[in-house]
Amino acid sequence: MDRELALELVRVTEAAAVSSAQWMGRGKKNEADDAATSAMRGMFDSISMEGTVVIGEGEKDQAPMLYIGEELGNGNGPAVDIAVDPLEGTNIVAKGHNNAMAVIAAADRGALLHAPDMYMEKIAVGKKARGKISLDDPIEKTIDIVAEANNKRIHDLTVIVQERPRHEELVERIRAKGARVKLFGDGDVGASIATCLPHTGVDLFVGRGGAPEGVISAAAIKCLDGDMQARLVPKNDEEAQRCMGMGLEDPEQLLTLDDLVQSDDAIFAATGVTEGELLNGVKFLGGELTETDSIVMRAKTRTVRFIKANHQLDHKPNFVY
């Protein structure tokens, strides 16, 4: 991979974000997702790469575009795995809430875990706690470890957890330990990345969420020199067989960051759709002027770029009143 590809992928997330942002607050999550997906797929045609979707909108017979196995790019350039979430937070956009993003991860061909659409247990931390965490540790021990690594008192530590009934016991244990809990609704890619960015104030991400989002998060965390562990949670024999089809002898084996992204190089790009802690949302400034806020990073160089762009877009609304 090269630096040009990193910057080109930002153009793709920008297109998806602008298209889906037109649906913000209109109560139509499917339409917002379709707009992001169509814009992202169209922009990929101009990218110099031989890309293959390994995490996308579904299997070939389930999604018209950005399906698993679809070839992307113009055929010139590096051969890469592509993981996409054209709109991370469809409900967020429909309701006008914060922290929706368009995201892409890329790595050398064969480097990204081909995670099926199932649940995954996850834990993520920033650079200071890298190499010190274990998904097998009880949460109370993990809090002690992360607090010491980050030079914080336990009652100053912030743990981010998705607000779901399945996490109620976990949240109570965190609170009983004395740490602070930050709950979020949707969008666990942004939540896990927050552990690696000091300005967010988030120290630890834990919980069960989507496996595809876990792999995308892992690419970003590798770029930021953080750490992550995961474990797939198949709910039946069919899902367990899918895990073994990925090459996992034990469907529930512990997956390290290097298992999730099996390369020293990876690229992560994201553009905010609605306002968030990581990125600002798309702003329609009047006339044809539109502003986007993006982040792009590369693991090989540890370069992180925040890109604010103004676009002169002669677009017609893709929604119907």
Domain identity same for 159 and 242: yes
Average pLDDT over residues 204-229: 96
Check whether 85 is labelled as a binding-site residue.
yes
Range in 19-33, 142-156, 247-261 with the lowest mean pLDDT: 247-261
219 contact partners, CB below 8 Å, separation of at least 6 = 83, 105, 106, 107, 112, 260, 261, 266, 267, 268, 299
> Is residue 31 part of an annotated ligand binding site?
no
* pLDDT higher than threshold 90 for residue 156: yes
Residue 213 in marked binding region? yes
**321 among annotated binding-site residues:** no
Is 165 assigned a ligand-binding role in the annotation? yes
How many residues appear in the chain? Answer: 321
Asked whether residue 200 carries a pLDDT value surpassing 50, the answer given is yes
pLDDT tens digit string along 91-130?
999 999 999 999 999 999 999 998 878 899 999 999 999 9
User: Is 141 within a domain?
Assistant: yes
Mean pLDDT within 208-237: 94
318 token code pair: 């893709």
Name 61's Cβ contacts closer than 8 Å, sequence gap at least 6.
none
Residue 320 pLDDT greater than 50, yes or no: no
Please, which pLDDT band fits residue 318 given cuts at 50, 70 and 90? low
For residues 243 and 164, the model is more confident at 164
Shared-domain flag, residues 206 and 163: yes
Flag whether 173 is marked binding.
no
265 marked as part of a ligand binding site: no
What pLDDT score does 1 carry?
Answer: 66
Is 187 a known ligand-binding residue?
yes
Q: What is the mean pLDDT of residues 154-163?
A: 97
Q: What is the pLDDT of residues 270-312, one digit of tens each?
A: 999 999 888 999 999 988 899 999 999 999 999 999 999 999 8
Alpha helices in the chain (DSSP H): 3-21, 29-44, 90-95, 139-149, 168-177, 188-193, 211-223, 237-245, 257-260
Find the CATH number of the domain harbouring 187.
3.40.190.90
Say whether both 13 and 105 belong to one domain: yes
Residues 231 and 288 grouped into a single domain: no
Judgement on whether residues 22 and 139 belong to the same structural domain of the protein: no
Judged against a pLDDT cut of 70, whether residue 60 lies above it is answered with no
Which tokens hold the place of 216? 């995308």
**Residue 63 vs residue 15, higher pLDDT:** 15
CA distance 43 to 143: 43
**pLDDT mean across residues, the chain:** 92
**Average pLDDT of 167-174?**
98
Q: Is 57 annotated as a binding residue?
A: yes
Q: How many domains, the chain?
A: 2
Structural domain contains residue 317: no
In-domain check, residue 320: no
Residues 223 and 295 reside in one and the same domain: no
pLDDT for the residue 250: 84
Statement to judge: residues 278 and 154 lie in one domain: no
**Residue 293 annotated as binding site:** no
Query: Is residue 192, in this structure, part of any structural domain at all?
Result: yes
- Return d(Cα 130, Cα 132) in angstroms, integer: 6
- 280 lies in the same domain as 308: yes
114 located within any domain:
no
210 and 126 in a common domain = yes
Residue 301 labelled as part of a binding site:
no
Range of the domain at 211: 119-260
Please check the confidence at residue 252 and state whether its pLDDT lies above 60. Answer: yes
Mean pLDDT value of segment 51-65: 83
Q: How far apart are CA 78 and CA 210, in angstroms?
A: 28
Would the annotation count 75 as a binding residue? no
Residue 80 lies in a domain: yes
Lowest-pLDDT range of 61-75, 164-178, 235-249: 235-249
153 a known binding residue? no
Domain co-membership, 275 together with 172: no
CATH code, domain carrying 302: 3.30.540.10
